[in-house]
Structure 1
Amino acid sequence: MTDEVAEDVGQDESTEDEAEASLPAAPISPPRGLDDDFEINLNFDADEVTESPAEPMDFDAEVEIDKAMAELHADLESKFGDWFVVHTYAGMENRVKQNIEQRVTSLNMEDYIYETIVPTETVVEMKNGNKKEVTRVFLPGYVLVRMDLTDESWGCIRHTPAVTGFVGNANDPTPLMLDEVESMLRPGIVAKVAASAQGKGKRPVKKIEVQDYQIGDSIMVIEGPFAGVPGTITEINPNTQRLIATVEFMGRDTPVDLTFPQIEKS
């Protein structure tokens, strides 16, 4: 009789242990002081545990820019006409663009003059101790025009108010190479990629480097559309890690906004 009772008791304890083992684990409560949105990723196969909500994801800006530039290249190749550079009075670039577009319509030149672009870039400026992101003309005094060059189309552009002429041979200008057009449009593409990343909750990975440069230093541009061109530093902004250098472009001294990694002392 005693043996039977002991056997029954052992069976009951075993059954209780199995029942407890089969119960689902109690939910994990967030530690005190954390928001209700706090979550823990219980993927133990992962290398590390992550918390949510997470910081905006980093992404490789250069990869995204390369993709956008490849799309630009394909788009430019698919279009009719050649690209020419028109010289304007400084500060009149957008007005010239409007004037050209109006003249194209009024003179019925749509079959010869297709597109007018003012190359721009987005930069961070410091004013009165405040940072402000602004979009500005990338090449002051220049406008890009895609067109078929004829006497009539040449006259339409040349006699547009605030246009001083075509860059190069004034009467028989030479069209730009495709890579030259891409270099002029690249800063605008970079700005679009950055804006798209911010809209998706991402942020570009930036490597900050501090270099010892002074205003008046002679430098050589080593990266970007002006690579291989010498210049002179005229402004330095250590807060944004950028500087302004004067370089020679198409026979004119042109101010160019650069980052420290894009230059070296010459």
Structure 2
Amino acid sequence: MPWFVIYTQARNEKKVARRLEQIGIEAYCPLLIQVRQWSDRKKKVETPLISSYVFVNVAENEREKVFEVPGVVRYLYWLGKPAVIRETEMQALKDSLDESVSNAEITGLKAGSSISIPHGPFRGKQGTVSQVNKNSVKIILEEMGIMVTLTKHETA
């Protein structure tokens, strides 16, 4: 069965993935663990790698079943057809999330530079640097149609 990408309502990715699993549809919502700072504490939280997207492994004739779940908006389309993700690409995404980068430096990057991401979930993807700050870099990944922010976090 092929993997498809569904677009969800904002901040509903984890709920949608859980509900899809409950009705028998294999769903995958890639998550990152981040340390968030509040005024009185630091806390580790799980956040979706790609906002508003969940991957589903469903037969072509059962694609409409995903709309039974509240929070599902639509399928992601590419060239007029639902976007299909190959099994090898899904496995590469899952494997790359198992890696962790403990110490990274942001050096020598300038807005407009073209780069290849060497590590992590977007390993091997080509991007264009949009903005460079002291602890973060915004990169546009045109082939995926998204902008990612890579941030240097302290460990808790």
In the superposition, the TM-score normalised over structure 1's length comes to 0.45
What is the CA deviation profile of residues 13-41 of structure 1, one whole-angstrom value per residue up to 9, with x for unaligned ones? xxxxxxxxxxxxxxxxxxxxxxxxxxxxx
Q: 2:5 aligns with which of 45, 62, 85?
A: 85
On the 8 A contact 2:106/2:134 being kept in 1, the answer is: no
- The answer for unaligned runs of 5 or more in structure 1 is 1-80, 105-109, 192-203, 238-242, 260-266
Shift in Å, 1:181: 1.1
Q: Distance in 2 between matches of 1:251 and 1:189?
A: 21
Segment drifting more, 248-257 vs 175-184: 248-257
User: 1:160-171, aligned counterparts within 5 Å?
Assistant: 160-169=69-78
Shift in Å, 1:187: 4.9
Shift in Å, 1:172: 4.4
Count of residues in Structure 1 that have an aligned counterpart in Structure 2 = 148
Note closer, same or farther for the CA distance 1:117–1:210 as it changes in structure 2 (3 Å cut): closer
Q: Distance in 2 between matches of 1:160 and 1:121?
A: 24
Aligned to 2:107: 211
On the 8 A contact 2:129/2:137 being kept in 1, the answer is: no
Q: 1:245 aligns with which of 130, 138, 152?
A: 138
Shift in Å, 1:141: 1.0
Shift in Å, 1:137: 0.9
Q: Distance in 1 between matches of 2:6 and 2:131?
A: 27
2:131 aligned partner, one-letter code: I
Shift in Å, 1:116: 0.9
Query: Any idea what SS the aligned residue of 1:229 has?
Result: strand
User: 1:163-242, aligned counterparts within 5 Å?
Assistant: 163-169=72-78, 172-190=81-99, 209=105, 211=107, 217-219=111-113, 220-224=115-119, 225=122, 227-233=125-131, 236-237=134-135
On the 8 A contact 1:234/1:246 being kept in 2, the answer is: no
Query: Any idea what SS the aligned residue of 1:218 has?
Result: coil
Is 1:122 matched with 2:16?
no
2:94 aligned partner, one-letter code: L
Q: Distance in 1 between matches of 2:11 and 2:137?
A: 18
On the 8 A contact 1:121/1:187 being kept in 2, the answer is: no
On the 8 A contact 1:87/1:142 being kept in 2, the answer is: yes
What is the root-mean-square deviation of aligned Cα atoms in Å? Answer: 3.5
Structure of higher RCO (CA pairs closer than 8 Å, 6+ residues apart): 2
Shift in Å, 1:176: 0.7
Q: Distance in 1 between matches of 2:40 and 2:106?
A: 20
Note closer, same or farther for the CA distance 1:89–1:149 as it changes in structure 2 (3 Å cut): same
Q: Distance in 2 between matches of 1:181 and 1:235?
A: 31
Query: Any idea what SS the aligned residue of 1:182 has?
Result: helix
Note closer, same or farther for the CA distance 1:99–1:90 as it changes in structure 2 (3 Å cut): same
Structure with max Cα Rg = 1
Q: Distance in 2 between matches of 1:187 and 1:244?
A: 19
Identity of aligned pairs, percent?
A: 18
Q: Distance in 1 between matches of 2:108 and 2:60?
A: 48
Note closer, same or farther for the CA distance 1:168–1:258 as it changes in structure 2 (3 Å cut): farther
Structure with the higher fraction of residues in helix conformation: 1
Structure with the higher fraction of residues in strand conformation: 2
Q: 1:149 aligns with which of 53, 56, 60?
A: 60
